Amino acid sequence: MPERITDSEVRARAFWSGTITFGLVSIPVNLFPANRSGGVSFRMVDESGTPLARRYFCQKDEKELDWDEIVRGYEVADGDYVVVTDEELESLEPRKSRDIDLRRFVPAEQIEPIYFERGYYLTPGGESTKAYMLLAETMERSGRAGIATFVMRGKEYLIAIFSEHGILRAETLRFVDEIRSPQDVGLPERPKLKAADVKKMEAAIKTHSAAKLSPAELQDDYAERVLKLVKAKERKNEDVVPAPAEPEEEEETSVIDLMEVLKRSLEGGGAAKRARKTPRKRKTA
């Protein structure tokens, strides 16, 4: 069972928090990643099991470089670079803000999935539950999505905000110059198709169709096979390289159930009000 999460814990564990703003509307929200890393990741080690580190190597002088010897260069021609300093880049960074600047509402179906980069959930922040639900309900009824920008970790992101089942979801968007057109990849012109061929293809698709998408269709079979291989070799003590030193103990962390977070955030401010009435325990040295 997922743990019970208080409103204060929700705010503390949010990936980012700020305010959706447009016109005279201002709605505090919390941002949670809708995706998590999956698959199988490997760490490069030597034969004794010691993790390896990357180094920058100068091909001209044939030596490793320290960090203070490295600068950033933008290639303007074949082999020609313009050096840009950290100070120059910092002066160009967007102004720090906690606002999600909602610029425009557009028909949601006009935003093609090819622009989507990474998904997030937006939950009500503070006492904004009523305003949050009003925005979500109105957007869902109108079939519109919001186009907005916000700054996180010194970088400005372009996002689309959707409303589904009373929950606001944000997708960071790729910029126009990052998208290839069908012409860029050399697709042939659309030929004229015979009706008989179309019917045959329709029959083949119908044979392999299902009423709804099953989560089992989205599982990473390759990752499961790799993990089974690793566990089998571990049980047999085959190719197991012991760690060179005992790792430091990590503090036990509890996993947040995201749907529980959303549910409790949408319940309203009742839990938060009760929490404020409960005196805090004084910390002891």
- Nearest-angstrom CA–CA distance, 59 and 65: 10
| Domain residue limits at 11 | 1-36+79-181
DSSP code, position 266: H
The tokens 């372009």 sit on which residue?
158
Q: Is residue 285 part of a domain?
A: no
The Cα–Cα gap between 205 and 276 comes to 58
In a domain, 19, yes or no: yes
> Would you say residue 18 lies in a domain?
yes
What are the residues whose beta carbons fall under 8 Å from the beta carbon of 169, sequence distance 6 or more? 34, 119, 120, 121, 122, 161, 162, 163
pLDDT at residue 283 in the model: 47
Residue 17 lies in a domain: yes
Residue 158 lies in a domain: yes
Can you spell out the DSSP letters for 155-204?
EEEEEEEEEETTEEEEEEE--GGGPPPTTTTTPPPPPPPPHHHHHHHHHH
> What CATH number is associated with residue 148?
2.40.290.10
Q: Please state, in angstroms and as integers, the Cα–Cα distance from residue 176 to each residue in 80, 109, 155, 171, 225, following that order.
A: 27, 17, 17, 15, 38
In a domain, 246, yes or no: no
Q: What does the angle CA 197 – CA 201 – CA 207 come to, to the nearest 5 degrees?
A: 145
pLDDT attached to residue 38: 75
Only one residue has tokens 């949050």, namely 132
pLDDT, tens only, 171-205: 999 998 899 888 888 888 888 999 999 999 999 99
Residue 163 lies in a domain: yes
Domain count, the chain: 1
Considering only CA atoms, give the Rg of the chain. Answer: 26
Q: Which amino acid is at 38?
A: G
pLDDT averaged per 10 residues, the chain (length 285): 50 79 92 82 83 87 88 88 89 87 94 93 89 95 95 90 95 92 84 92 91 83 84 84 62 59 65 47 45
CA 80/CA 77 separation, integer angstroms: 5
This prediction's pTM: 0.69
Residue 85: inside a domain, yes or no? Answer: yes
Strand (E) positions, 78-135?
A: 80-84, 99-107, 116-124
Q: Report yes or no: 169 and 100 within 8 Å, Cβ to Cβ.
A: no
What is the tens place of the pLDDT at every residue in 112-155? 999 999 999 999 988 889 999 999 999 999 999 999 999 988 88
